Chain A
Amino acid sequence: MIRSSAVEMASALAKGEITSVALTQLHFDRIASVDTDVHAFLHLDTDGALAQAAAVDAKRAKGEKLSPLAGIPLALKDVLVQKGIPTTCGSKILEGWRPPYDSTVVTNLKNNDIIILGKTNMDEFAMGSSTENSAYGPTHNPWDLSRIPGGSGGGSAAALAAFEAPLAIGTDTGGSIRQPAAVTGTVGVKPTYGGVSRYGLVAFSSSLDQAGPCARTVLDTALLHEAIAGHDPRDSTSINAPVPNVVAAAKSGDVKGMKIGVVKELNGDGYQPGVRARFDESLELLAKAGAEIVEVSCPNFEYALAAYYLIAPSECSSNLARFDAMRYGLRVGDVDGASAEEVMNLTREVGFGREVKRRIILGTYALSSGYYDAYYGSAQKVRTLITQDFTSAFTKADVLVSPTCPTTAFKIGEKSNDPLAMYLNDIATIPVNMAGIGGMSLPSGVADEDGLPVGFQIMSPVMKDERMYLVGAALEAALLSKWGAPILSKAPSLGGLA
């Protein structure tokens, strides 16, 4: 059962073949058997989840009308607050903190009766591409435990790939949903910026952060997308418009006559041969399904990475100022006679990890007078150019596509001492965040040279998120009939029989 899709689980629940309590317990059993190796979770809310599941079972027994994902378990990235449940953002500075309120994403999950199993591991404050920057130790890729599961949402993606949960929530500032999805053989969507509320999402880079759905199939992802999306008056950047019809698109998968634009700049040199091979094969399958493949050029994308590593650190240096040891979280050095400033300095020294400090200092520099125009100001101009590239490309194509990342999962430790090499993982995912558009990654197979999963990225214009689901569903169906089984069936089974 735990290897089924959420849709299949929902159908079993509806038919009375299993209860939500039993389904939830099966997932806790699975977690108990494999998470010592995978380390996807930082915290499990066993009692809360089972109580929530019992309540859903009671509603169902009474014949109440339930949402499509009612009773299905989910893994929540530890950057979204849930009332009374520890929220660390992978940082020591928040160790033991229990937020006094629910994020809107959590409220929406609860309103849809989706069962929250626990909080998943991540790079500290979502800064990283490997989950190695978590203060609580790395998460391991279920495909090969010596490899990274991507980041920052490596815990959520690994939980899906290890069958610890059929649904998960991630957040994506520069690729933190899509790159983990790519390297674990799962599906992840970064919705249009403003499509899902950021209320209660601990901010890293406010103009780029976006929460989104993760799952093992395109339709499951769409159902979760619909459950969490929508206007929220508590987020001033929330878009006040109907949620794009992503579920209908995922069910249809009809790409006949659609124009799919291949971004010339997001391929070629620097992309692993197996990544390129799977990408080309996916294009052929989409062409066979009736789509027209065209090439588009986005010449300013080559500056996206540089602009991102100025904008995101600048915003982070400001956002993370709130961790000041005064109102919540860690406080160090509060001895008689110590000043507030000394306590802040010591707390932030002890509480923040290396990458977080690196980015705070970089952002402080980029925003300092005398350098502002040269760095942050120039990066903002590049952001304009990237958005213009997208606008122009979307006049030639309905969606744009590329490999999600240049390589398959690398070894834990391989890049941890080379920040620039690590940053390059996000080269194909960052432009989407800069322009605030939608992006999806779904599995396109495994690379011949290493047998590890490869991601296919689909990008859609602002609030046209349904287009990625159309293309994703078409490709998923074509690949499934080619492989005969979902890609995760090729992954090694962990912890004995599932």
Chain B
Amino acid sequence: MSSLSRDEVANLARLARIEMSEEELVNLASEFTVILEAVARVQEVASADVAPTSHPLPLRNVFRPDVTKPSLTPEEALSGAPASEEQRFRVPQILGEEA
């Protein structure tokens, strides 16, 4: 279990939306054999009676009064956009429809 094939890495890269060269896939797969072996050690002590901790503080919802406050102008919000149009982010085609 503590290893990953080139194809498994390719699938993870697809899920993470990162294009990868053949060389990167092969390198990562070989590095993962070592890394996974090391991190799998957590299973030695993670018995069923131990509760998981996701966060150092007890998290709870934080509420504030529903009052409108100044925020970014459309120009500021779009200031870093790679492309914008009519006060909106312009993005490439999202659905696989015909142009």
Across chains A and B, the number of contacting residue pairs, with CB separation under 8 Å, is 174
Residues of chain B within 8 A (CB-CB) of A317 are 16
Residues of chain A within 8 A (CB-CB) of B15 are 364, 368
Question: Does B4 have its Cβ within 8 Å of any Cβ on chain A?
Answer: yes
Q: Are B16 and A360 in touch, CB under 8 angstroms?
A: yes
Q: Are B39 and A375 in touch, CB under 8 angstroms?
A: yes
The one of B12, B19, B28 that contacts A368, using a Cβ cutoff of 8 Å: B12
Residues of chain A within 8 A (CB-CB) of B54 are 207, 380, 383
Within 8 A of A (CB), among B62-99: 62, 64, 72, 76-77, 79-83, 89, 91-94, 96, 99
Residues of chain B within 8 A (CB-CB) of A336 are 99
Q: Are B19 and A345 in touch, CB under 8 angstroms?
A: yes
Q: Are A340 and B92 in touch, CB under 8 angstroms?
A: yes
Q: Which residue of B lies closest to A350 (CB)?
A: B19
Name, among B9, B16, B28, the residue most crowded by chain A CB atoms within 10 Å (CB to CB).
Answer: B16
Q: Are A324 and B9 in touch, CB under 8 angstroms?
A: no
Q: Are A327 and B80 in touch, CB under 8 angstroms?
A: yes
Q: Are A340 and B91 in touch, CB under 8 angstroms?
A: yes
Q: Are A436 and B57 in touch, CB under 8 angstroms?
A: yes
Q: Which residue of A lies closest to B71 (CB)?
A: A101
Residues of chain A within 8 A (CB-CB) of B38 are 305-306, 309, 420, 423
Cα-based distance from A329 to B79 in the complex (angstroms): 10
Residues of chain A within 8 A (CB-CB) of B16 are 317, 348, 360-361, 364
Question: Does A382 have its Cβ within 8 Å of any Cβ on chain B?
Answer: yes
The answer to whether residues A419 and B55 also contact, given A338-B93, A365-B4 and a CB cut-off of 8 A, is no
Question: Does A414 have its Cβ within 8 Å of any Cβ on chain B?
Answer: no
The dominant DSSP class at the B interface is loop
The one of A100, A352, A362, A383 that contacts B76, using a Cβ cutoff of 8 Å: A100
Looking at the complex, which of A54-62, A132-140, A232-240, A448-456 is the stretch in contact with chain B?
A232-240
Question: Does A339 have its Cβ within 8 Å of any Cβ on chain B?
Answer: yes
Cα-based distance from A298 to B92 in the complex (angstroms): 52
Q: Are B46 and A306 in touch, CB under 8 angstroms?
A: no
Q: Are A385 and B45 in touch, CB under 8 angstroms?
A: yes
Within 8 A of B (CB), among A360-374: 360-362, 364-366, 368, 374
Residues of chain B within 8 A (CB-CB) of A237 are 55, 57, 59
Cα-based distance from A334 to B94 in the complex (angstroms): 12
The answer to whether residues A193 and B56 also contact, given A300-B45, A327-B89, A357-B24 and a CB cut-off of 8 A, is yes
Min CB distance A142 to B, Å, is: 32
Cα-based distance from A434 to B55 in the complex (angstroms): 8
Name, among A305, A327, A343, the residue most crowded by chain B CB atoms within 10 Å (CB to CB).
Answer: A327
Question: Does A411 have its Cβ within 8 Å of any Cβ on chain B?
Answer: no
Min CB distance A437 to B, Å, is: 8
Min CB distance A86 to B, Å, is: 11
Residues of chain B within 8 A (CB-CB) of A434 are 56
Cα-based distance from A326 to B82 in the complex (angstroms): 7
Question: Does A250 have its Cβ within 8 Å of any Cβ on chain B?
Answer: no
Cα-based distance from A346 to B92 in the complex (angstroms): 13
Binary A-proximity of B30-61 (CB < 8 A = 1, otherwise 0): 01101100111111111100111111110101
Q: Which residue of B lies closest to A371 (CB)?
A: B1
Cα-based distance from A82 to B54 in the complex (angstroms): 30
Q: Which residue of A lies closest to B56 (CB)?
A: A436
The one of A305, A352, A358 that contacts B28, using a Cβ cutoff of 8 Å: A358
Min CB distance A376 to B, Å, is: 9
Q: Are B79 and A100 in touch, CB under 8 angstroms?
A: yes
Q: Are B20 and A349 in touch, CB under 8 angstroms?
A: yes
Name, among B4, B34, B61, B80, the residue most crowded by chain A CB atoms within 10 Å (CB to CB).
Answer: B80
Question: Does A271 have its Cβ within 8 Å of any Cβ on chain B?
Answer: no
Question: Does A392 have its Cβ within 8 Å of any Cβ on chain B?
Answer: no
Question: Does A342 have its Cβ within 8 Å of any Cβ on chain B?
Answer: yes
Q: Are B81 and A378 in touch, CB under 8 angstroms?
A: no
Q: Are B35 and A362 in touch, CB under 8 angstroms?
A: yes
The one of A193, A334, A358 that contacts B83, using a Cβ cutoff of 8 Å: A334
Binary B-proximity of A459-484 (CB < 8 A = 1, otherwise 0): 00010000000000000000000000
Residues of chain B within 8 A (CB-CB) of A374 are 1, 40, 43
Min CB distance B16 to A, Å, is: 5
Min CB distance B84 to A, Å, is: 9
Residues of chain B within 8 A (CB-CB) of A193 are 56-57
Name A's B-contacting residues (CB within 8 A).
97-101, 193-194, 207, 233, 236-237, 239, 300, 303, 305-307, 309-310, 317, 321, 324-331, 334, 336-346, 348-349, 352, 357-358, 360-362, 364-366, 368, 374-375, 377-385, 387, 419-420, 423, 434-437, 462
Known: A343-B92, A360-B16, A365-B12; 10 extra A-B contacts, CB below 8 A, are A303-B45, A310-B39, A327-B89, A348-B17, A349-B20, A362-B32, A374-B40, A379-B42, A382-B46, A384-B50
13 intermolecular pairs with C-beta atoms under 8 Å apart = A194-B57, A236-B62, A306-B38, A326-B82, A327-B80, A327-B89, A339-B93, A361-B13, A361-B28, A368-B15, A381-B50, A382-B45, A384-B50
Name B's A-contacting residues (CB within 8 A).
1, 4, 9, 12-13, 15-20, 24, 28, 31-32, 34-35, 38-47, 50-57, 59, 61-62, 64, 72, 76-77, 79-83, 89, 91-94, 96, 99
